[in-house]
Structure 1
């Protein structure tokens, strides 16, 4: 059966030790594109690991394998001008994802015909123009500059980064969309289309109301620091953990009624600020949950329209009923082991996702 991007060749050229560009390539590979990881003699930097993660070769290897599932790897010293092997790859490509600036890519001296329908996406921390374009950047610097770190601060602590490199994964989805959009334009116009992609701008565009609230508090002259308290939050049941979320007053009152704590209807905002009878309230919530199973509490919460979910740990997630009936994970044979990895979170009725192996060792 054909795939959504069958016949589309994608090159990943250059690279930095973050997840954004490789994840963009993975998304395109899931849709059936022929994605080729072009590595020079030193190999892709991510093979050595992400700088924000602990120095664990097994973890680094597993992440690299996941990000490069369904791709091919070729070793080409593309830094040599007029490299014939690299020129042949470019001539066959429809999309190029690269961490090289436009002038750096041009210095490779690869002739791209003016009528070649190809999208070249230059992914850099700051973009190809502006006073920051040549500044060195790490993942944390991009987060901080984009405003992700400032609002994540409590009164008693310094600002902290968002964990899990979340902005890199989200940026990868931005890159894949921009690549497909540019390629569509290239096909329509019968000419190369260049994309100047800024990771900083992508991260900044993801800011939600929380950052706006932080700025608004400053303009109002009230303290910007906020207490990150969720009075219900993550709680232990008799056989595991659940998460109870109360963003609105209605959800708060429903959760209080669910746990028999109607006396606390009026304390939501106070306890969200870390004030009021938090310890007393917490002890009563724990007492209510002490003899409840996870499934009992989740079922009760859903019946009362309280956002309640099981909090899975490690291998427990593979046993979730949802993923038993709707398969999501699949096995990938990697460099060091066989892994269970997440599949694409979508289902296409006519062109299914393609599953493959990782690019393997060099």
Structure 2
């Protein structure tokens, strides 16, 4: 009789819609029917950007080029700023940190997708999925806050030029960069702890090319209301609030610039801010659409298109946006390349 019951329970655990019990639970003395607080041992399947095999070669080539451009561009920005003492100012300090975050953000998602496209293996284990999710949100939150910090830096430089050196002291600059990293670590860890409570059953296919919160939550067969509420709270803190601060900063900057008597001075001020405004439009235009728009207007295709913008396109374009419009940075990049050529010859 007991043998029959064990067989029935084992068979029942493999029925669709019922979570598969991890072997770690039975080793701790739990029976297969007892509730558990973690997901099954089954890996997730990342379906990627397209399910058509004939498009995979094109996607691989496209994203490989984008990733290489992002890596080379952002590393050159970091090396140029660190190697030129003339650029050791708050504005370029924040730019170097933004380049570092963009490099890490792209590296967290694109290489895994390239490997999947090349090998055809779309599976990702649950621990690896949580790890990728943690670092994606960690670097994404830091990215959002640093962009807002750069807007504040431009506000002080244009609206309070005589007090700029006093206000933007090395201590304040360190805090404006260090606090976002610490805050992001806490928020991202909370996301992961909430995800670890969920149970996943049925399909493990994720209609995305990396592990993001929203697509994974849709696969859970348990209540995800706490995680969804936390996502909205975090989105308000790290997306909506910095975006409003940026708009307020640039409203003050615009008012100050319009008071400049010379056309050359106005042009120089607008040129200084135009690069940063381009980055703001690219980053916040996509993240707001993913995390703050109602779920009724979001689709898997729109989510993937927006994710491509802030994980691949923005990290690739940022170095070009800042270097092409900045004479000092272009000069530092030329010095860096010339030193490398001279040292290798």
Q: Could you tell me the TM-score, scaled by structure 2's length?
A: 0.28
Q: Which has the higher strand share?
A: 1
Q: Which has the higher helix share?
A: 2
Q: Could you tell me the TM-score, scaled by structure 1's length?
A: 0.27
Asked which structure has the greater RCO (Cα within 8 Å, sep 6+), the reply is 2
